[in-house]
Amino acid sequence: MKTTTLSIICGLISTGLALAQSGVRPPTPFGPVPTERQLRWHEMEFYGFLHFTVNTFTDKEWGYGDENEKVFNPTAFDADQIVLAAKAAGMKGLILTAKHHDGFCLWPSKFTDHSIKSSLWKEGRGDVVKEISDACRRQGLKFGVYLSPWDRNHKDYSRPEYLTYYRSQLRELLTNYGDIFTVWFDGANGGDGFYGGAREKRAIDNRTYYDWENTRQLVRELMPMAVMFSDAGPDVRWVGNERGIAGDPCWATINAAGRYPGSDSQGLNSGERPGTAWIPAECDVSIRPGWFYHAKEDGRVKTPAQLLDIYYQSVGRGAGLNLNLPPDRRGRIHENDIASLREFRRILDATFEKDLAQGAQLTASNTRGGAKQFAAANVLDQKRDTYWTTDDGVATAEMVLDLGQPVTFNVVSLREYLPLGQRVEAFALDQWRDGQWVEFAHGTSVGNFRLIRGAGIATSKVRLRITQAAACPALAELGLFAEPAPVPPAKVATP
Ligand code: FUL
Protein backbone atom coordinates (compact mmCIF):
# COMPACT_ATOMS: atom_id res chain seq x y z
CA MET A 1 0.00 0.00 0.00
CA LYS A 2 1.23 3.52 -0.78
CA THR A 3 2.40 5.49 2.27
CA THR A 4 0.12 8.41 1.38
CA THR A 5 -2.89 6.09 1.32
CA LEU A 6 -1.69 4.58 4.58
CA SER A 7 -1.40 7.97 6.29
CA ILE A 8 -4.87 9.01 5.05
CA ILE A 9 -6.30 5.79 6.50
CA CYS A 10 -4.39 6.35 9.78
CA GLY A 11 -5.73 9.92 9.83
CA LEU A 12 -9.30 8.70 9.35
CA ILE A 13 -8.87 6.12 12.09
CA SER A 14 -7.51 8.67 14.56
CA THR A 15 -10.31 11.13 13.67
CA GLY A 16 -12.79 8.33 14.30
CA LEU A 17 -11.15 7.45 17.62
CA ALA A 18 -11.10 11.07 18.68
CA LEU A 19 -14.80 11.46 17.88
CA ALA A 20 -15.64 8.27 19.71
CA GLN A 21 -13.82 9.49 22.82
CA SER A 22 -15.41 12.91 23.23
CA GLY A 23 -17.79 13.58 20.38
CA VAL A 24 -15.57 16.57 19.50
CA ARG A 25 -13.98 16.55 16.07
CA PRO A 26 -10.24 17.31 15.85
CA PRO A 27 -9.31 20.37 13.78
CA THR A 28 -8.92 20.09 10.01
CA PRO A 29 -5.27 20.06 8.92
CA PHE A 30 -3.89 23.38 7.69
CA GLY A 31 -1.80 23.61 4.49
CA PRO A 32 0.72 20.94 3.49
CA VAL A 33 1.22 18.21 6.12
CA PRO A 34 4.04 15.68 6.63
CA THR A 35 3.95 12.14 5.28
CA GLU A 36 4.48 9.16 7.54
CA ARG A 37 8.12 8.88 6.45
CA GLN A 38 8.69 12.58 7.19
CA LEU A 39 7.11 12.21 10.65
CA ARG A 40 9.57 9.41 11.42
CA TRP A 41 12.42 11.61 10.23
CA HIS A 42 11.21 14.54 12.40
CA GLU A 43 11.48 12.28 15.44
CA MET A 44 15.19 11.73 14.81
CA GLU A 45 16.18 15.42 15.07
CA PHE A 46 19.94 14.78 15.38
CA TYR A 47 22.09 12.46 13.27
CA GLY A 48 25.48 12.46 11.63
CA PHE A 49 27.44 12.41 8.41
CA LEU A 50 30.60 10.36 7.80
CA HIS A 51 32.81 11.79 5.06
CA PHE A 52 35.38 9.13 4.29
CA THR A 53 37.09 8.18 1.00
CA VAL A 54 40.37 8.55 -0.93
CA ASN A 55 40.32 12.25 0.07
CA THR A 56 41.06 11.18 3.65
CA PHE A 57 44.40 9.86 2.38
CA THR A 58 45.20 12.53 -0.24
CA ASP A 59 44.29 15.43 2.09
CA LYS A 60 41.74 16.83 -0.33
CA GLU A 61 38.12 17.95 -0.11
CA TRP A 62 37.22 17.17 -3.74
CA GLY A 63 39.13 14.33 -5.42
CA TYR A 64 39.69 14.74 -9.18
CA GLY A 65 38.65 11.18 -9.98
CA ASP A 66 42.09 9.87 -10.95
CA GLU A 67 43.13 8.75 -7.46
CA ASN A 68 44.93 5.45 -7.26
CA GLU A 69 42.63 3.06 -5.37
CA LYS A 70 45.63 1.87 -3.38
CA VAL A 71 45.76 5.11 -1.40
CA PHE A 72 42.64 4.02 0.48
CA ASN A 73 44.16 2.04 3.33
CA PRO A 74 42.94 2.80 6.85
CA THR A 75 45.36 1.39 9.41
CA ALA A 76 42.92 0.54 12.22
CA PHE A 77 39.39 0.86 10.84
CA ASP A 78 36.82 0.29 13.56
CA ALA A 79 33.15 0.68 12.59
CA ASP A 80 32.01 0.23 16.18
CA GLN A 81 34.30 2.98 17.45
CA ILE A 82 32.84 5.32 14.80
CA VAL A 83 29.22 4.39 15.46
CA LEU A 84 29.66 4.46 19.25
CA ALA A 85 31.13 7.97 19.04
CA ALA A 86 27.96 9.06 17.21
CA LYS A 87 25.70 7.21 19.61
CA ALA A 88 27.36 8.68 22.69
CA ALA A 89 26.80 12.13 21.17
CA GLY A 90 23.07 11.39 20.96
CA MET A 91 22.87 10.86 17.20
CA LYS A 92 20.00 8.70 15.98
CA GLY A 93 21.53 7.76 12.63
CA LEU A 94 24.59 8.03 10.36
CA ILE A 95 24.89 8.85 6.66
CA LEU A 96 27.99 7.52 4.91
CA THR A 97 29.56 8.93 1.73
CA ALA A 98 29.31 5.62 -0.14
CA LYS A 99 30.61 7.54 -3.18
CA HIS A 100 31.81 11.15 -3.16
CA HIS A 101 32.47 13.32 -6.25
CA ASP A 102 35.75 11.45 -7.01
CA GLY A 103 33.74 8.33 -7.86
CA PHE A 104 35.60 5.94 -5.50
CA CYS A 105 33.13 3.44 -4.02
CA LEU A 106 33.33 2.35 -0.38
CA TRP A 107 31.58 -0.88 -1.29
CA PRO A 108 32.59 -3.51 -3.90
CA SER A 109 30.19 -2.34 -6.60
CA LYS A 110 29.72 -4.75 -9.50
CA PHE A 111 29.69 -1.84 -11.90
CA THR A 112 33.18 -0.39 -11.47
CA ASP A 113 36.70 -1.32 -10.38
CA HIS A 114 37.20 2.16 -8.97
CA SER A 115 36.34 0.95 -5.52
CA ILE A 116 37.50 -0.57 -2.33
CA LYS A 117 38.03 -3.91 -4.06
CA SER A 118 41.04 -2.41 -5.88
CA SER A 119 42.52 -1.06 -2.67
CA LEU A 120 45.05 -2.72 -0.40
CA TRP A 121 42.71 -2.56 2.59
CA LYS A 122 41.75 -6.08 3.64
CA GLU A 123 43.36 -7.21 0.37
CA GLY A 124 40.45 -5.76 -1.57
CA ARG A 125 37.86 -7.79 0.30
CA GLY A 126 36.62 -5.04 2.62
CA ASP A 127 33.26 -3.26 2.49
CA VAL A 128 32.94 -0.05 4.51
CA VAL A 129 29.23 0.31 3.69
CA LYS A 130 28.58 -3.13 5.14
CA GLU A 131 30.71 -2.61 8.23
CA ILE A 132 29.17 0.78 9.08
CA SER A 133 25.59 -0.32 8.34
CA ASP A 134 26.05 -3.48 10.44
CA ALA A 135 27.55 -1.48 13.31
CA CYS A 136 24.65 1.00 13.11
CA ARG A 137 22.18 -1.84 13.41
CA ARG A 138 24.10 -3.33 16.34
CA GLN A 139 24.05 -0.03 18.18
CA GLY A 140 20.46 0.89 17.33
CA LEU A 141 21.25 3.76 14.91
CA LYS A 142 19.61 4.21 11.53
CA PHE A 143 21.79 4.13 8.43
CA GLY A 144 21.70 6.37 5.36
CA VAL A 145 23.69 6.76 2.13
CA TYR A 146 25.24 9.64 0.19
CA LEU A 147 25.76 8.72 -3.45
CA SER A 148 27.22 11.70 -5.30
CA PRO A 149 25.44 12.32 -8.61
CA TRP A 150 28.55 14.12 -9.90
CA ASP A 151 31.18 11.48 -10.65
CA ARG A 152 34.58 12.78 -11.77
CA ASN A 153 35.91 9.30 -12.43
CA HIS A 154 33.29 7.81 -14.71
CA LYS A 155 33.93 7.90 -18.46
CA ASP A 156 30.26 8.36 -19.31
CA TYR A 157 29.53 11.20 -16.96
CA SER A 158 27.41 13.82 -18.83
CA ARG A 159 26.00 11.14 -21.19
CA PRO A 160 22.73 9.16 -20.67
CA GLU A 161 24.72 5.93 -20.03
CA TYR A 162 25.95 7.34 -16.74
CA LEU A 163 22.39 7.47 -15.40
CA THR A 164 22.09 3.72 -15.85
CA TYR A 165 25.34 3.32 -13.91
CA TYR A 166 24.18 5.71 -11.18
CA ARG A 167 20.86 3.91 -10.76
CA SER A 168 22.50 0.48 -10.75
CA GLN A 169 24.69 1.64 -7.88
CA LEU A 170 21.70 3.04 -6.04
CA ARG A 171 19.99 -0.30 -6.47
CA GLU A 172 23.00 -2.08 -4.93
CA LEU A 173 23.00 0.24 -1.93
CA LEU A 174 19.26 0.02 -1.41
CA THR A 175 19.06 -3.75 -1.67
CA ASN A 176 22.18 -5.13 -0.02
CA TYR A 177 22.57 -3.14 3.18
CA GLY A 178 19.31 -3.46 5.09
CA ASP A 179 17.07 -0.58 6.02
CA ILE A 180 18.12 2.86 4.77
CA PHE A 181 16.55 5.91 6.43
CA THR A 182 17.75 8.55 4.00
CA VAL A 183 19.23 8.93 0.55
CA TRP A 184 21.28 12.11 0.33
CA PHE A 185 21.45 13.73 -3.13
CA ASP A 186 24.15 16.34 -3.43
CA GLY A 187 23.76 19.28 -5.80
CA ALA A 188 27.44 20.15 -6.33
CA ASN A 189 29.05 20.07 -9.77
CA GLY A 190 32.38 21.70 -10.54
CA GLY A 191 32.64 20.59 -14.19
CA ASP A 192 36.18 19.30 -14.65
CA GLY A 193 37.46 15.82 -13.84
CA PHE A 194 39.28 12.68 -14.92
CA TYR A 195 36.28 11.10 -16.70
CA GLY A 196 37.95 7.82 -17.70
CA GLY A 197 41.13 9.63 -18.77
CA ALA A 198 39.55 12.41 -20.84
CA ARG A 199 40.63 15.00 -18.23
CA GLU A 200 38.26 17.68 -19.37
CA LYS A 201 35.43 19.90 -18.30
CA ARG A 202 31.96 18.43 -18.69
CA ALA A 203 28.96 20.67 -18.34
CA ILE A 204 25.54 19.25 -17.61
CA ASP A 205 22.17 20.91 -17.19
CA ASN A 206 21.27 20.28 -13.55
CA ARG A 207 17.57 20.65 -14.28
CA THR A 208 17.31 17.97 -16.93
CA TYR A 209 20.38 15.74 -17.07
CA TYR A 210 19.74 13.56 -14.03
CA ASP A 211 16.06 12.84 -14.81
CA TRP A 212 15.37 12.98 -11.07
CA GLU A 213 11.80 11.84 -11.43
CA ASN A 214 12.84 8.31 -12.35
CA THR A 215 15.60 8.10 -9.76
CA ARG A 216 13.13 9.15 -7.08
CA GLN A 217 10.72 6.50 -8.23
CA LEU A 218 13.43 3.88 -7.90
CA VAL A 219 14.08 4.93 -4.30
CA ARG A 220 10.36 4.84 -3.48
CA GLU A 221 10.12 1.37 -4.97
CA LEU A 222 13.16 -0.08 -3.19
CA MET A 223 13.00 1.77 0.14
CA PRO A 224 9.53 3.29 0.58
CA MET A 225 10.16 4.73 4.05
CA ALA A 226 13.48 6.42 3.18
CA VAL A 227 13.42 10.21 3.03
CA MET A 228 15.21 11.78 0.09
CA PHE A 229 17.34 14.84 0.79
CA SER A 230 18.39 17.46 -1.76
CA ASP A 231 18.24 21.22 -2.30
CA ALA A 232 14.72 20.55 -3.47
CA GLY A 233 13.59 17.63 -1.33
CA PRO A 234 11.30 15.86 -2.18
CA ASP A 235 11.22 14.90 1.52
CA VAL A 236 13.90 16.96 3.26
CA ARG A 237 15.49 20.16 1.96
CA TRP A 238 18.92 21.70 2.37
CA VAL A 239 18.92 24.65 4.75
CA GLY A 240 20.89 26.80 2.30
CA ASN A 241 24.24 27.00 4.15
CA GLU A 242 26.88 24.60 5.46
CA ARG A 243 27.15 26.30 8.86
CA GLY A 244 24.28 24.32 10.38
CA ILE A 245 22.09 27.36 10.98
CA ALA A 246 18.37 27.37 10.17
CA GLY A 247 16.55 30.63 9.56
CA ASP A 248 14.36 32.30 12.14
CA PRO A 249 11.64 31.67 11.20
CA CYS A 250 12.24 28.25 9.69
CA TRP A 251 9.00 26.97 8.15
CA ALA A 252 8.72 23.30 7.25
CA THR A 253 6.86 24.32 4.10
CA ILE A 254 8.18 25.72 0.84
CA ASN A 255 7.06 26.47 -2.71
CA ALA A 256 8.39 23.38 -4.46
CA ALA A 257 7.82 24.22 -8.13
CA GLY A 258 10.93 24.83 -10.21
CA ARG A 259 13.37 23.56 -7.59
CA TYR A 260 15.95 20.85 -8.35
CA PRO A 261 19.21 19.63 -6.78
CA GLY A 262 21.72 22.38 -7.50
CA SER A 263 19.11 25.11 -8.05
CA ASP A 264 19.62 28.39 -6.21
CA SER A 265 19.13 28.47 -2.47
CA GLN A 266 16.50 31.21 -2.41
CA GLY A 267 13.96 30.51 0.32
CA LEU A 268 15.65 27.36 1.67
CA ASN A 269 16.86 28.86 4.95
CA SER A 270 13.49 30.11 6.19
CA GLY A 271 11.06 28.13 4.05
CA GLU A 272 7.93 29.72 2.64
CA ARG A 273 4.37 30.31 3.92
CA PRO A 274 1.93 28.76 3.40
CA GLY A 275 4.02 26.83 0.83
CA THR A 276 2.95 24.15 -1.60
CA ALA A 277 4.75 21.22 0.07
CA TRP A 278 5.95 20.01 3.45
CA ILE A 279 9.73 19.81 2.91
CA PRO A 280 11.45 20.51 6.24
CA ALA A 281 15.06 21.68 6.49
CA GLU A 282 18.16 19.69 7.39
CA CYS A 283 21.21 21.60 8.67
CA ASP A 284 24.44 19.94 7.55
CA VAL A 285 27.68 21.11 9.09
CA SER A 286 31.06 19.58 9.86
CA ILE A 287 32.59 19.37 13.33
CA ARG A 288 35.80 20.60 11.65
CA PRO A 289 36.37 23.23 8.93
CA GLY A 290 36.51 20.52 6.21
CA TRP A 291 34.15 17.64 5.45
CA PHE A 292 37.04 15.17 5.22
CA TYR A 293 39.71 14.52 7.83
CA HIS A 294 42.87 16.64 7.67
CA ALA A 295 45.48 16.33 10.43
CA LYS A 296 46.13 20.07 10.17
CA GLU A 297 42.57 20.64 11.46
CA ASP A 298 43.04 18.61 14.65
CA GLY A 299 43.18 21.84 16.63
CA ARG A 300 40.14 23.33 14.89
CA VAL A 301 37.40 21.00 16.10
CA LYS A 302 34.25 22.93 17.05
CA THR A 303 34.03 23.51 20.79
CA PRO A 304 31.15 22.19 22.91
CA ALA A 305 29.82 25.76 23.14
CA GLN A 306 29.87 26.10 19.33
CA LEU A 307 28.10 22.75 18.93
CA LEU A 308 25.44 23.82 21.42
CA ASP A 309 24.85 27.09 19.52
CA ILE A 310 24.41 25.04 16.35
CA TYR A 311 22.02 22.65 18.08
CA TYR A 312 19.81 25.48 19.33
CA GLN A 313 19.79 27.10 15.89
CA SER A 314 18.98 23.91 13.98
CA VAL A 315 17.06 21.34 16.06
CA GLY A 316 15.82 24.24 18.18
CA ARG A 317 14.30 25.87 15.10
CA GLY A 318 12.41 22.79 13.94
CA ALA A 319 15.08 21.51 11.51
CA GLY A 320 17.16 18.32 11.57
CA LEU A 321 20.86 18.49 12.47
CA ASN A 322 23.26 16.41 10.37
CA LEU A 323 26.67 16.85 12.02
CA ASN A 324 29.66 15.53 10.09
CA LEU A 325 32.32 13.45 11.88
CA PRO A 326 35.19 12.65 9.51
CA PRO A 327 36.97 9.35 10.22
CA ASP A 328 40.76 9.80 10.18
CA ARG A 329 43.44 7.79 8.37
CA ARG A 330 43.19 5.08 10.98
CA GLY A 331 39.47 4.78 10.18
CA ARG A 332 38.36 6.14 13.57
CA ILE A 333 36.88 9.30 14.98
CA HIS A 334 39.70 11.41 16.34
CA GLU A 335 40.07 11.88 20.12
CA ASN A 336 39.63 15.68 19.88
CA ASP A 337 36.27 15.30 18.15
CA ILE A 338 35.17 12.78 20.76
CA ALA A 339 36.18 15.06 23.64
CA SER A 340 34.17 17.93 22.21
CA LEU A 341 31.13 15.75 21.54
CA ARG A 342 31.28 14.33 25.05
CA GLU A 343 31.05 17.74 26.75
CA PHE A 344 28.37 18.90 24.29
CA ARG A 345 26.27 15.83 25.17
CA ARG A 346 26.89 16.23 28.88
CA ILE A 347 25.49 19.76 28.81
CA LEU A 348 22.47 18.76 26.68
CA ASP A 349 21.68 15.88 29.04
CA ALA A 350 22.07 18.04 32.11
CA THR A 351 19.73 20.59 30.52
CA PHE A 352 16.98 18.29 29.37
CA GLU A 353 16.98 15.58 32.03
CA LYS A 354 14.53 17.54 34.20
CA ASP A 355 11.49 19.32 32.81
CA LEU A 356 10.65 21.98 35.38
CA ALA A 357 7.16 22.45 33.95
CA GLN A 358 6.14 18.97 35.09
CA GLY A 359 3.47 19.15 37.78
CA ALA A 360 2.39 22.71 36.90
CA GLN A 361 -1.31 23.61 37.09
CA LEU A 362 -2.53 24.56 33.63
CA THR A 363 -5.32 26.85 32.52
CA ALA A 364 -6.09 27.73 28.92
CA SER A 365 -8.14 30.55 27.43
CA ASN A 366 -9.97 28.03 25.26
CA THR A 367 -10.14 24.24 24.94
CA ARG A 368 -11.71 22.70 21.89
CA GLY A 369 -15.34 21.79 22.69
CA GLY A 370 -14.30 21.75 26.36
CA ALA A 371 -13.04 18.20 25.68
CA LYS A 372 -10.50 16.64 28.02
CA GLN A 373 -8.84 15.01 25.08
CA PHE A 374 -7.78 18.46 23.74
CA ALA A 375 -6.96 19.94 27.16
CA ALA A 376 -3.92 22.05 27.98
CA ALA A 377 -2.56 19.24 30.19
CA ASN A 378 -1.57 17.38 27.02
CA VAL A 379 1.42 19.70 26.57
CA LEU A 380 2.97 18.27 29.73
CA ASP A 381 2.55 14.54 29.04
CA GLN A 382 5.79 14.39 26.97
CA LYS A 383 4.02 12.74 24.05
CA ARG A 384 4.09 14.10 20.51
CA ASP A 385 0.76 12.61 19.58
CA THR A 386 -1.49 14.32 22.13
CA TYR A 387 -2.09 18.06 21.99
CA TRP A 388 -3.90 21.11 23.29
CA THR A 389 -6.14 22.75 20.74
CA THR A 390 -8.94 25.29 20.63
CA ASP A 391 -12.21 25.82 18.85
CA ASP A 392 -12.08 26.65 15.15
CA GLY A 393 -11.63 30.30 14.31
CA VAL A 394 -9.45 30.95 17.39
CA ALA A 395 -6.27 32.58 16.12
CA THR A 396 -4.98 33.89 19.45
CA ALA A 397 -5.01 31.87 22.65
CA GLU A 398 -3.06 31.58 25.86
CA MET A 399 -2.22 29.14 28.57
CA VAL A 400 -0.89 29.77 32.06
CA LEU A 401 1.42 27.40 33.93
CA ASP A 402 1.22 27.84 37.66
CA LEU A 403 4.43 26.29 38.97
CA GLY A 404 3.38 26.56 42.62
CA GLN A 405 6.73 28.03 43.69
CA PRO A 406 9.51 30.05 42.08
CA VAL A 407 11.39 28.03 39.49
CA THR A 408 14.54 29.10 37.62
CA PHE A 409 14.95 28.19 33.96
CA ASN A 410 16.71 29.53 30.86
CA VAL A 411 15.35 27.28 28.08
CA VAL A 412 11.74 26.88 26.96
CA SER A 413 10.68 24.18 24.50
CA LEU A 414 7.57 24.09 22.30
CA ARG A 415 6.35 21.49 19.83
CA GLU A 416 3.39 21.58 17.47
CA TYR A 417 1.29 18.55 16.59
CA LEU A 418 2.64 18.07 13.06
CA PRO A 419 -0.08 15.93 11.43
CA LEU A 420 -2.31 19.05 11.50
CA GLY A 421 0.29 21.18 9.67
CA GLN A 422 2.28 24.19 10.84
CA ARG A 423 -0.34 26.48 12.38
CA VAL A 424 1.36 28.80 14.87
CA GLU A 425 2.77 31.94 13.25
CA ALA A 426 3.78 33.93 16.32
CA PHE A 427 3.97 33.44 20.06
CA ALA A 428 5.15 35.23 23.19
CA LEU A 429 6.19 34.10 26.68
CA ASP A 430 5.57 36.03 29.88
CA GLN A 431 6.76 35.63 33.44
CA TRP A 432 4.82 36.67 36.52
CA ARG A 433 6.87 39.39 38.21
CA ASP A 434 5.89 41.82 40.94
CA GLY A 435 2.19 41.11 40.50
CA GLN A 436 2.04 41.43 36.72
CA TRP A 437 2.91 39.69 33.46
CA VAL A 438 6.20 40.69 31.87
CA GLU A 439 7.17 39.38 28.42
CA PHE A 440 10.58 37.64 28.31
CA ALA A 441 10.60 36.12 24.81
CA HIS A 442 8.71 35.99 21.56
CA GLY A 443 9.08 34.11 18.30
CA THR A 444 7.43 32.98 15.08
CA SER A 445 7.65 29.43 13.69
CA VAL A 446 7.39 26.43 16.03
CA GLY A 447 6.84 23.27 13.96
CA ASN A 448 8.60 20.10 15.10
CA PHE A 449 10.50 21.84 17.89
CA ARG A 450 11.32 25.32 19.09
CA LEU A 451 13.90 26.04 21.77
CA ILE A 452 14.01 29.50 23.28
CA ARG A 453 17.28 29.96 25.11
CA GLY A 454 17.97 33.07 27.13
CA ALA A 455 18.95 34.58 30.43
CA GLY A 456 17.75 32.84 33.58
CA ILE A 457 14.13 33.55 34.58
CA ALA A 458 12.97 32.95 38.15
CA THR A 459 9.20 32.97 38.45
CA SER A 460 6.27 31.01 39.84
CA LYS A 461 4.03 31.45 36.77
CA VAL A 462 4.64 31.37 33.02
CA ARG A 463 2.20 32.39 30.31
CA LEU A 464 2.35 31.28 26.69
CA ARG A 465 0.47 33.48 24.26
CA ILE A 466 -0.20 32.35 20.72
CA THR A 467 -0.39 35.76 19.13
CA GLN A 468 -0.97 34.66 15.53
CA ALA A 469 -2.09 31.37 14.03
CA ALA A 470 -3.15 30.40 10.52
CA ALA A 471 -5.72 28.03 12.04
CA CYS A 472 -6.58 27.16 15.63
CA PRO A 473 -3.25 26.19 17.28
CA ALA A 474 -2.42 22.57 18.11
CA LEU A 475 0.44 22.40 20.61
CA ALA A 476 1.89 19.02 21.58
CA GLU A 477 4.53 19.96 24.15
CA LEU A 478 5.84 22.73 26.35
CA GLY A 479 8.85 22.37 28.66
CA LEU A 480 11.01 24.52 30.95
CA PHE A 481 14.66 23.63 31.46
CA ALA A 482 17.79 24.91 33.15
CA GLU A 483 20.99 24.81 31.11
CA PRO A 484 23.96 24.56 33.50
CA ALA A 485 26.77 27.07 33.31
CA PRO A 486 29.71 25.76 31.23
CA VAL A 487 32.51 24.13 33.17
CA PRO A 488 35.51 26.49 32.95
CA PRO A 489 38.47 24.94 31.09
CA ALA A 490 41.04 23.31 33.39
CA LYS A 491 43.54 25.81 34.80
CA VAL A 492 46.98 25.69 33.25
CA ALA A 493 49.60 25.58 35.99
CA THR A 494 51.66 28.75 36.04
CA PRO A 495 55.40 28.17 36.40
C1 FUL B 1 28.75 19.46 -0.81
C2 FUL B 1 29.94 18.66 -1.33
O3 FUL B 1 30.55 19.29 -2.42
C4 FUL B 1 30.89 18.56 -0.14
O5 FUL B 1 32.08 17.91 -0.49
C6 FUL B 1 30.19 17.81 0.97
O7 FUL B 1 29.92 16.47 0.58
C8 FUL B 1 28.88 18.52 1.34
C9 FUL B 1 28.07 17.78 2.37
O10 FUL B 1 28.08 18.72 0.21
O11 FUL B 1 27.89 19.83 -1.79
pLDDT at 398: 98
Residue 286 CA: which ligand 1 atom is closest? 9
Q: Where are the beta strands (DSSP E) in 240-394?
A: 253-254, 277-278, 281-286, 320-324, 361-364, 388-389
Q: Which domains does the chain have, with CATH numbers?
A: 36-352 (3.20.20.80), 355-481 (2.60.120.260)
Question: How much of the chain exceeds pLDDT 70, in percent?
Answer: 94
In the reported structure, the alpha carbon of residue 259 is separated from the centroid of ligand 1 by a whole-number distance in angstroms of 19
Atom 11 (ligand 1) nearest CA: 188
- Whole-angstrom Cα distance, residue 327 to residue 53? 9
Nearest residue to 29 via CA among 445, 477, 426, 416: 416
Question: How much of the chain exceeds pLDDT 90, in percent?
Answer: 91
Residues contacting 271, CB < 8 A, separation 6+: 237, 247, 249, 250, 251, 252, 253, 254, 279, 280, 281, 445
- Whole-angstrom Cα distance, residue 379 to residue 388? 6
Average pLDDT over residues 74-100: 98
In the reported structure, the alpha carbon of residue 188 is separated from the centroid of ligand 1 by a whole-number distance in angstroms of 7
- Whole-angstrom Cα distance, residue 444 to residue 426? 4
- Whole-angstrom Cα distance, residue 42 to residue 489? 35
The model's confidence at residue 3, banded by pLDDT at 50, 70 and 90, is very low
Q: Name the packing angle between helices 79-88 and 128-139 (round to 10°).
A: 40
In the reported structure, the alpha carbon of residue 172 is separated from the centroid of ligand 1 by a whole-number distance in angstroms of 22
In the reported structure, the alpha carbon of residue 186 is separated from the centroid of ligand 1 by a whole-number distance in angstroms of 7
Atom 2 (ligand 1) nearest CA: 188
Q: Where are the beta strands (DSSP E) in 102-216?
A: 142-147, 182-184, 192-193, 200-201
Residue 292 CA: which ligand 1 atom is closest? 5
The model's confidence at residue 5, banded by pLDDT at 50, 70 and 90, is very low
Q: What is the DSSP letter of 70?
A: G
Residue 324 CA: which ligand 1 atom is closest? 9
Q: Where are the beta strands (DSSP E) in 76-226?
A: 93-99, 142-147, 182-184, 192-193, 200-201
Amino acid residing at 478: L
pLDDT, tens only, 413-439? 999 999 999 999 999 999 999 999 999
234 preceded by cis ω (within 30°)? yes
pLDDT, tens only, 282-319? 999 999 999 999 999 999 999 999 999 999 999 999 99
